[in-house]
Amino acid sequence: MYEITGDEKYYRAANRATDFLLQNSNRPDGYTFYCRKTDEKDACNGLVGQAEPIRALSLAGVLLGRQDASSTAEEVYSIHPFNEQVGLWERIEIDGRSLSFDRTLNHQILFAGAAVELVPESSEIEDDLWRFLDGLRSNLRVHSDGVIKHFIRPAPRRSAKLILRNRRYRHLLRNEVLFHVYSHSQKRWAKELSYQPVNLHPLGRLYDTFPDHPLWTMDKIENARSVLKSEANISKMTELSSGSVLPGIRSACALSYFEIDADELVPRIERDLRYYLDENYLLSNGDVNASNLSSTISHLTDFPNKQLFE
């Protein structure tokens, strides 16, 4: 908001939010951000838990002139080992322990889509992201209709070599089994459909930064984009409880990156806003935490400046 309006109140609010993220209590052991308290799952919330803090701090560094924010974003990114052999990042727990690869595809893509903000600061990160896109040529799998499958699936031979070298990577075997099981599950397909905007939006950011990468010419990328071009699919997504809570807005942002005419996408944004905006001009639907849902309005900063509700 400060970038758009230049209003000092947004400058102050953005600095307070940045100060909050930089508090030691949010990285109690000096490694990754403490995202959730649970006995059953990791406290770092995989790669996805680190993606938004990295992106937020990267943008704060540029827009607010906060070098402390930029350096922290780069530090947290660099804590995560990137394996060039399979083109994937590992999860790192808040105490610094490696938890092997994050096996959920959208987590890997969201992490990459956040790290793209650091490309001007680091040629090493730029190289990692290029190799990540290389890896997506095999790691990203789609159904025949273009819906992106939820789990990563590296080439089996590469996975086998990694597992033989280090048992920490044995969970890749689980992905190989589940890939085949879930390929025939209609329930799984519906969940994967709901995540299509979640996958394509950060992929759009990567396309914007690396437009010459050969990944974008592959049929499966065009097929995946075609899923979001369908209004019928967007309507289905609004009825699903998983994935994006703003499929119209998020699909519009994704497709605008992929050079679809923004004017054609405006009705999707208007439809989501009509449905979710309350009397206080906050996004709410009763099912999702109001603060969390309202914060997703920030997705619109990725969309061209267009007049709404003319």
- What is the average pLDDT across 289-303? 81
Q: Residue 88 and residue 75: Cα distance in Å, rounded?
A: 18
**Are 270 and 309 spatial neighbours (Cβ–Cβ below 8 Å)?**
yes
- Taking the domains of the chain in order of start, what are their residue ranges? 1-244, 245-309
Give the model confidence (pLDDT) of 64-88 as tens digits.
Answer: 999 999 999 999 999 999 999 899 9
234: amino acid identity, one letter: I
Give the model confidence (pLDDT) of 140-187 as tens digits.
Answer: 999 999 999 998 877 777 777 777 777 777 777 777 777 777 777 889
Q: Who contacts 125 (Cβ-Cβ below 8 Å, separation ≥6)? A: 74, 77, 115, 118, 119
Kindly give the pairing relationship between strand 88-92 and strand 98-101. antiparallel
Instruction: Check residue 243 and give its pLDDT.
Output: 86
Q: Does residue 205 register a pLDDT over 90?
A: yes
Confidence of residue 3 (pLDDT cuts 50, 70, 90): confident
Q: Other CB atoms closer than 10 Å to residue 205's CB: what's the count? A: 22
The crossing angle, in degrees rounded to 10, of helices 262-276 and 247-257 is: 160
Q: Does residue 288 register a pLDDT over 70?
A: no
pTM for this prediction: 0.93
